[in-house]
Amino acid sequence: MKNKELRNMIIISIAVTVMAAILAMIFLSVGAGLAVFITGALLSVLFIIYTVNRYKKIEKLNDYLVRVLAENDTDEILDQEEGELSILKTNIYKTTSTLKYQKELLADDKKNLAAALADISHQLKTPLTSMMVMNDLLVDEQDEDKRTEFLQTQSSQLDRMNWLIQTLLKLSKLDAGTIVLKREDVLATELVEEAIKPFEIQFDLRNISFESDVSKVNIRCDKNWTVEAIQNIIKNCIEHMDDGGQLFIAVTDTNIFTQLTIKDTGCGIAAEDVPHIFERFYKGKNAGKDSVGIGLALSKSILEEEQAEINVESTEGVGTRFIIKFYKTLI
């Protein structure tokens, strides 16, 4: 009887029953009045029982929501009955299940963020420590050759830090969806030429031969970002090749997609590392000492944003092949 609406319904049902019985006695007979009273009373009791049961079910739903808000484990509330309450139960259960799933995703994101921050901190700490040591040595160093060597080391560390920070910024922008990649027809020859250009001096210094088999077909993509993705892959290939190695790029065209293949004669990727090489900050057993583990992750993010697909095939001691498929029709 704590429910005000229930009390009002009981009072109204009693009042209507008594009034109907009195009117029946006045205009009909005492027997008719008693019959009306008994019938009204029975109907009122049945209605009250039915209403009380419904309120109990609603109260259980309320308790369930309270437990959900209190972040306690909750039982399944679904049933096989029909009616408005069952529909309400189903929708509430769907909502709470979705909220629970989102909470789990948020917890995982926090863990991943903490791990990423730890990795970033570690990657920045190493060059910073090196630069601080070099700076202390520069203060007292009188030998010009040594000073030049220290300055070159500092410059190299600054370049590494700048690349790391710029790459992380690009990744974060892609994750946040603040970058909209435009799709336009770009000649495959232009993409490859522009991607290779920054590495030409490195090819000469390390005696790396470069060959290409690129036809003048159009690739529908964002030119600047695609060049960025290809350059990160080429950079990874060069880092895993000895002097005198070979790099090969080919483009093939089909009715469904245009495929760009980048192949090297490097040390290859261990079989257990292949499924993880596009993960951020992942470094396989053949990774170089200066490897950060985000270049390939950025490439994958860019290509996926363009609805392209990237896969890798590798054999240790033989080399690695990256296969990129630019689909002509988005599904």
Of 262 and 60, the structure prediction assigns the larger pLDDT to: 262
Instruction: Determine the residue type at 283.
Output: K
Instruction: Determine the residue type at 92.
Output: I
Which CATH code is given to the segment(s) 184-327? 3.30.565.10
Going by C-alpha positions, the residue among 260, 239, 237 that lies closest to residue 247 is 237
pLDDT at 260: 94
pLDDT at 66: 77
Q: How confident is the model at residue 154 (pLDDT cuts 50, 70, 90)?
A: confident
pLDDT in tens, 133-142: 778 777 777 7
Q: At what angle do helices 295-305 and 223-239 cross, to 10 degrees?
A: 150
Q: What angle do CA 220, 225, 226 make, to 5 degrees?
A: 50
Q: How confident is the model at residue 77 (pLDDT cuts 50, 70, 90)?
A: low
Architecture of domain 116-176: Orthogonal Bundle (1.10)
pLDDT at 17: 79
Q: Name the average pLDDT for the chain.
A: 81
Instruction: Determine the residue type at 300.
Output: K
DSSP state letter for 244: T
Domain boundaries, the chain: 4-75, 116-176, 184-327
Rounded to whole angstroms, the Cα distance separating 249 from 191 reads 11
Least confident of 41-45, 77-81, 241-245: 77-81
Q: How confident is the model at residue 211 (pLDDT cuts 50, 70, 90)?
A: very high
